[in-house]
Amino acid sequence: MFKVLVVAYYFPPMGLSGVQRTLKFVKYMKNYNWEPTVVTSGNVAYFAHDNSLQKELVDTDVRIIRVSGSREPNSLLSKMGTMKLPSEFIRNIFDKISQSIFIPDNKISWSKLAFKKIDEILAKEKFDAIFITCPPFSAFDIISKIKKKHDVPLFADYRDLWYRSYFAFYLTPFHRLLHKKKEYWALKAADRITVTNRKIKEKLLHTYPFLTFDDVVIISHGFDHEDFEKIPAQPKPQNKMVLMYSGIFMVYNSPAYLLKAFKQLTIERPDIASNIELHFVGFLRKENQKLIRKLKIQAFVKDHGYVNHDESIAKLKSANVLWFMVGRRRNIDAILPGKVYEYIGAKKPILACVPEGAAKMAIEESGAGFICSPDNIDEIKNTILKVYDQYKNNTLPVPSDEIVEKYRRDNLTELLTKQFQLKLRADG
């Protein structure tokens, strides 16, 4: 087999969406003659730990090298284990402070230790490729320099934008310039960049003209077909339409507009509202729970809290309609939540409250979407009514088998390993 060194700070036992893409790549690489070795974080505190993903990692029998002892926040708080998620207001303040101090991010100390570990590994073993997942972008920034010493093909995977990201805060023009400079040199070192959607590709090509069209390859988010084949659906309320959200609310999304739209529905059409339940799987957050109480719609809402990945799949399979939203922010057109493709894998209709951009295009392609503005309460309410009408008439759309097949994690992993192979052939 060929050998690839995978560098991923976010990895099981950590949970949440940033973990899954890399884990599933690693799971299926051996099917395509690539043996992965993962360099990841050691014992760190985090907001979610996922036992089912950790078990899946153990079952894949992949070599894992954990790098501990850094001074980044999660390592310093490691004794806390699974931390309580702060309010979005508090999280946002600390995030801005962190971005003002650490460039490109607060994982710099871990990335430096990972660099030393990778240097040691490459001095003893031959690898055919290095694959770095981003964020954190400090890993790409620092570890990209190792190519000068060991001359191993370097691949970087962008789950989000780096420069001018929708998450970015620049205290001064100097901060902005330094981010762009660091990204420039990291990209110069890379042999290939993979991104999750066309908008990220377009922005990279526009910002860094030295990149060619073939330098940046789109490999979208996806879903693991084995999850949906093996995990049965959970029971759901009889004779009620379950509208479900799975994930976390932060920075770019909020359930506030949906909740307010549903409140209007309870006033204008209580007969329909009484036949709908809003289910939230993940982190609903205290501020949103407070809004639910203020609107007096507790009877219509079920908060499942954070659950392991396998239980999340079981709940998705039980829902009638799946919902998500993307708010309006700078460069938000390049964000495409990973949950979208798990929704498609569940073969469910999707209510998407989104602006123009990658997320909207993905829902349009699915052929199973109801799309409306993210912040127009009346439009959201009327779209819910449309969805409910089709639910009652048993005419809700579902993604085609062709679309579902396209986003299977094993097929996407094959696309990634083909990029590895293309580079090896070019060098050979």
pLDDT of residue 15: 86
Domain 2-222+408-427: which CATH number of 3.10.20.30, 3.40.50.2000, 2.10.109.10, 3.40.50.720:
3.40.50.2000
Element (H, E) at 131: strand 129-134
- Burial class of residue 30 (count of CB atoms within 10 Å of its CB; 0-12, 13-18, 19+): middle
Q: Reply yes or no: is the peptide bond before residue 270 cis, omega within 30 of 0.
A: no
Q: Is the dihedral of CA 219, 14, 147, 181 positive or negative?
A: positive
What's the CATH class of domain 225-406?
alpha beta
Q: Backbone phi, then psi, for 7, in 5-degree steps? A: -110, 115
Q: How far apart are CA 377 and CA 383, in angstroms?
A: 10
pLDDT of residue 49: 86
Q: How far apart are CA 141 and CA 274, in angstroms?
A: 53
Strand partners, 216: 193
Strand partners, 241: 276
Tokens of 103: 């460039």
Domain ranges across the chain: 2-222+408-427, 225-406
pLDDT of residue 428: 67
State the 10-residue block means of pLDDT for the chain, 428 residues long.
96 87 96 97 84 90 90 75 81 91 94 96 96 96 94 96 92 96 97 97 97 97 95 87 94 94 98 97 93 97 94 96 94 92 96 96 96 97 98 96 95 97 83
Q: How far is CA 174 from CA 107, 286, 330, 374, in A?
A: 20, 36, 19, 33
CA-based nearest residue to 219, from 410, 24, 415: 415
Is 225-406 in the same CATH topology as 2-222+408-427? Answer: yes
Q: How far is CA 184 from CA 3, 140, 335, in A?
A: 27, 11, 21
pLDDT of residue 69: 77
Residue type, 427: D
